[in-house]
């Protein structure tokens, strides 16, 4: 899709949004004005947040916590994924538990995080790790299991050692699917970050800013503005990092 097509779509979406406001709120009063945001109101709120520098500080704080939590989750997820992939006992006993825990919403870990770590950055990082690590563990296990057996058989026939098997066969073959798993893991991490920040309002971050806007009666335009920023940041990170890396891997293998 070209940039022009994307711009046209976004403009049409904003026009439809404004049209609904004019008809449903201003003309027929189906919804109260303070309950429904407007494009202009959201843009004005964005300018206000930029003028006092609050939004930049919040973005920086959220990205910092998100990156730390995601890196820890990757390390834990890789270890757990390799363990359940290599040991049948763990695959039969631990994997079902991991799949069950993965279905828990991230907000379920917030009370534990506050109890164990207090209203500190560690609490938010803990929520991110618990909401992400198990997803990555399953992705690691699945990416290795979905490798075509002929690759491993060919490597064994040529006398590959266990170390060579992992670094020269398994990891390169599993990498495309593993990158997709990390993309999904990042989406879990980003949502977990917001869940943690909303509940720990003494810190800084986008989730904290959203919680303050909700609790202290700010205009709905400001809340909508923060939500849009959260969505756009998530998309930007996915497109600039994960999707770019994934395309390079697929292109290198002749799959794209």
Query: What is residue 74's predicted lDDT score, i.e. its pLDDT?
Result: 94
d(CA 242, CA 46): 27
Which residues, other chains included, contact 103 with Cβ-Cβ below 8 Å and sequence gap of 6+? none
243 in Cβ contact with 234 (< 8 Å): no
Query: What is residue 256's predicted lDDT score, i.e. its pLDDT?
Result: 58
d(CA 62, CA 189): 11
CA angle 117, 120, 122 (to 5 degrees): 60
Query: What is residue 240's predicted lDDT score, i.e. its pLDDT?
Result: 84
What predicted TM-score, i.e. pTM, was given to this entire model? Answer: 0.85
d(CA 9, CA 20): 16
d(CA 240, CA 248): 12
The DSSP call for residue 202 is T
CA angle 242, 246, 248 (to 5 degrees): 120
Hey, CA dihedral for 110, 103, 76, 187, is it positive or negative?
Answer: negative
One digit per residue, pLDDT tens: the chain, 256 residues? Answer: 567 888 888 889 989 988 888 887 777 777 777 788 888 888 888 888 888 777 888 888 889 999 999 999 999 999 999 999 888 898 899 889 998 888 888 888 888 998 898 888 898 999 999 999 999 999 999 888 888 888 877 877 887 777 777 778 888 888 888 888 888 889 889 988 888 888 776 667 888 888 777 766 557 888 888 889 988 888 888 888 888 887 887 777 666 5
Query: What is residue 184's predicted lDDT score, i.e. its pLDDT?
Result: 87
SS3 state at 52: coil
Query: What is residue 201's predicted lDDT score, i.e. its pLDDT?
Result: 62
Query: What is residue 67's predicted lDDT score, i.e. its pLDDT?
Result: 92
């Amino acid at each position: 899709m070209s940039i022009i097509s994307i711009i046209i779509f976004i403009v049409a979406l904003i026009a439809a949004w404004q049209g609904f406001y004019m008809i449903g709120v201003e003309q027929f009063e189906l919804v109260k004005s303070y309950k429904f945001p407007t494009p202009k109101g959201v843009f004005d709120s964005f300018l206000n947040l930029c003028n006092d520098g609050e939004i930049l500080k919040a973005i920086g704080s959220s990205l910092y916590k998100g990156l730390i939590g995601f890196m820890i989750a990757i390390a834990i997820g890789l270890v757990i994924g390799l363990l359940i992939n290599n040991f049948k006992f763990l695959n039969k006993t631990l994997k079902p538990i991991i799949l069950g825990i993965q279905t828990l919403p991230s907000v379920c870990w917030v009370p534990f995080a506050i109890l164990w770590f207090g209203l500190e950055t560690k609490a938010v990082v803990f929520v991110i790790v618990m909401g992400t690590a198990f997803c990555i563990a399953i992705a690691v296990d699945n990416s290795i299991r979905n490798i075509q057996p002929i690759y491993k058989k060919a490597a064994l026939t040529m006398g590959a050692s266990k170390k060579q098997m992992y670094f020269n066969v398994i990891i390169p073959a599993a990498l495309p699917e593993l990158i997709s798993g990390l993309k999904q893991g990042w989406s879990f991490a980003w949502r977990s970050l917001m869940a943690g920040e909303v509940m720990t309002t003494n810190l800084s971050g986008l989730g904290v800013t959203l919680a303050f806007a909700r609790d202290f009666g700010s205009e709905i335009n400001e809340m909508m503005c923060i939500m849009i920023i959260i969505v756009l940041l998530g998309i930007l990170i996915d497109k600039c990092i994960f999707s770019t890396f994934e395309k390079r891997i697929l292109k290198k293998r002749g799959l794209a």
